[in-house]
Amino acid sequence: MATISKETARRLDPEKLAASALALADTEGLEAVTIRRLAQQHEVTPMALYRHFSDKDDLLAAIGDRMLADIVLPEPTDERWDVQLRAILTAFVAALRPHPKVAQLALFRILVTEPGLALAERTMELLTEAGFSVDDAAEVGRQSLCSLITLVTAEPGSAEVTDPIGREDALRAKRAALAALPPRRYPLITAAADVLVCPTSTDAYYDLGIDLAVAGICGVLTDRQQR
């Protein structure tokens, strides 16, 4: 039976492999992530990786797990439920922000991995504390997390072009296209062409997205309590 050296075994640690696959996806996109490509990076045969990943889907699941492992949930406090919820959603977004090309993989692993389960439990705990039923808390929590994943994957310009020069050229072309629209017909779009193509501040972009999620939850709760 073939054996591998201790050095190779260290290189083939599943967590390190998942981190390598995540870095590859961040740089080149999900289509570049294959067992063969990852094996080449670690200078082993593809068969060596099948010890840890049965197929590409298994590898993609590991990438999702790797992202969720970076969530740093804040400790519970005596602050209002919505303030605590905002802090939790902010921690979730912070873990995904560096990975817009693959952030969607986290969705399918939230109820599988320990960090994801902790996130879901804390979120539902605060929502039920606010007044939602357990079932409603589950649905509101799920849709809120989905919307924040979309916030990351849809960050303007983040996942379109890897090369910085090519990205700037693409953004410039989009700005020009919007600015060239008839201003009488589209006065607001032409006036806000720059912001529509790329936010003036990435931090402000995410702060607003999280604020909208929390405000929406509060609005739904108020509406249901008034029925």
Residue pLDDT, tens place only, 108-149: 999 999 999 999 999 999 999 999 999 999 999 999 999 999
HEC string for the chain: CCCCCHHHHHHCCHHHHHHHHHHHHHHHCHHHCCHHHHHHHCCCCHHHHCCCCCCHHHHHHHHHHHHHCCCCCCCCCCCCHHHHHHHHHHHHHHHHCCCCCCHHHHHHHCCCCHHHHHHHHHHHHHHHHHCCCHHHHHHHHHHHHHHHHHHHHCCCCCCCCCCHHHHHHHHHHHHHHHHCCCCCCCHHHHHCHHHHHCCCCHHHHHHHHHHHHHHHHHHHHHHHHHC
What's the Cα-to-Cα distance from 51 to each of 42, 47, 62, 218, rounded to whole Å?
Answer: 14, 7, 14, 47
Instruction: Tell me which of 143 and 3 has the higher pLDDT.
Output: 143
Residues 52 and 150 in one domain: no
Q: What is the mean pLDDT of the chain?
A: 90
Residues 105 and 179 occupy one common structural domain: no
Closest CA to 51 of 21, 102, 17: 17
- pLDDT tens for each residue of 151-167: 999 987 665 545 555 66
Q: Which tokens is 148 given?
A: 């924040």
Residue 20: give its domain's CATH number. Answer: 1.10.10.60
User: Same structural domain for residues 207 and 144?
Assistant: yes
For residue 173, the enclosing domain spans: 164-197
137 and 147 in a single domain? The answer is: yes
pLDDT grade for 10, boundaries at 50, 70 and 90: low
Residue 76 covered by a domain: no
Q: Supply the pLDDT for residue 2.
A: 46
Pick from 71-75, 163-167, 214-218: least confident = 163-167
Over the stretch 83-109, which tens digit does the pLDDT of each residue have?
999 999 999 999 999 999 999 999 999
Check whether residue 27 and residue 129 sit in a common domain: no
With beta carbons less than 8 A apart as the criterion, state whether 90 and 100 touch: no
Whether 75 is covered by a domain: the verdict is: no
If one counts the domains in the chain, the total is 3
